[in-house]
Amino acid sequence: MSLFSRSLASPPPDAAIEIAADYVSVAVVVPRGQALAVQGCAVVPIPAGAVVASLTSANILNPPVVVAALRTALERSGARPRRVALVIPDVAAKVALVKFDTIPPRREDLDQLMRWQVRKASPFPIEEASVTFTPGVRSADGGAEFVVVTARQAVVAEYEAVCAEVKAYAGLVDLATLSVVNFFLGAPGVPTGDWLVVHLRPDYTTIVVMRGGDVIFFRNRPEGDEESIADLVHQTAMYYQDRLSGQGFTRAFLGGSGGGPRAVETARRSLEERLGVTVDPIDPTRGAMLSDRIAASPETMDSLTPLVGLMLRTLREPVGA
């Protein structure tokens, strides 16, 4: 699943870049035998207020600072990419699950139907939006659910412009948590049954419920405080049981850094108490080994998963497929 693909043909991107509210990160992920390896990476903090992710208003509020941080990250990672895959914050776009009882046979008709459906809930004119979708759960009667991502074209262009300033072309753009999901789908041993992904960032928390390889629930809350995390966990658990015929999770995974030193531990405790399952950390080395020169610090590991996830997708399957 992806947000926006810009006619990228082979070879795949040279590197993956994430522009978040609190840092800019870069990873170079390359094939190594039958596996993948992170050849270089770097995380550079940015000051508060330089990036303020929003669905409807400007996101890159201090472009020179963000561009400078990206240049530094590229230098530290040893990357000189011309083609990149780009990760942006979840709250820069809207994710919805849309179900149709009947699917039009022609792609053009499905595109029009999808835009007509999401325009009713769009906070901005649909003419200003990029709308992409990925097939999800199919029903026995021929219907299907789709994971639909809507974003203002102008907002996505702000993030792409940062890359353009360092002469890097962002051919693929995706959301942070969808990239984490792609990490699990691209790494060995995709969980079976119903499983949970919780992704914490200082400015938001996202919870995704998976059924095998399909997204069946996606919810994001902009606040990242302890109370909102606990509320989101509770609401998700109730919805899962009442509306999704949930019979319990086989696995649960927690990643990211959250908004403070206690955020991750608080979320882990809330999940385990509410769901009755062990919550495992998200380990990016499941999808790509680290080169010997990369120090596996908590900061590096937290930032690597979305980058590895997006590169797994681009290296394992044709971009735009």
- The answer on 131 and 20 residing in a single domain is no
Question: How many domains, in total, are found in the chain?
Answer: 3
Q: Is the pLDDT of residue 209 over 60?
A: yes
Is 321 a member of any domain? no
- The answer on 308 and 292 residing in a single domain is yes
Q: Is the pLDDT of residue 294 over 70?
A: yes
Q: Which residues of 265-278 are buried (b: 16+ CB within 10 A; e: fewer)?
A: ebbbebbeeebeee
- The strand pairing partners of 138, in sequence order, are 144
- The answer on 71 and 157 residing in a single domain is yes
Q: What is the pTM of this model?
A: 0.92
What band does 1 get if pLDDT is binned at 50, 70 and 90? very low
Q: Is the pLDDT of residue 144 over 80?
A: yes
- The answer on 220 and 159 residing in a single domain is no
Q: Is the pLDDT of residue 224 over 70?
A: no
For residue 141, what is the domain's CATH number? 3.30.1490
In three-state secondary structure terms, 166 is: coil
For residue 170, what is the domain's CATH number? 3.30.420.40
Q: Which of 5-14, 178-187, 256-265, 281-290 has the lowest average pLDDT? A: 5-14
Are 43 and 299 in contact, with CB atoms under 8 Å apart?
Answer: yes
Is 168 a member of any domain? yes
Could you tell me what percentage of the chain is helix, strand and coil, using 3-state DSSP and rounding each to the nearest 5? Answer: 35, 30, 35
Which structural domain, as residue segments, surrounds residue 265? Answer: 191-281
What band does 8 get if pLDDT is binned at 50, 70 and 90? very low
Q: Each residue of 10-24: pLDDT tens digit? A: 567 999 999 999 999
Distance CA 50, CA 63 (A): 7
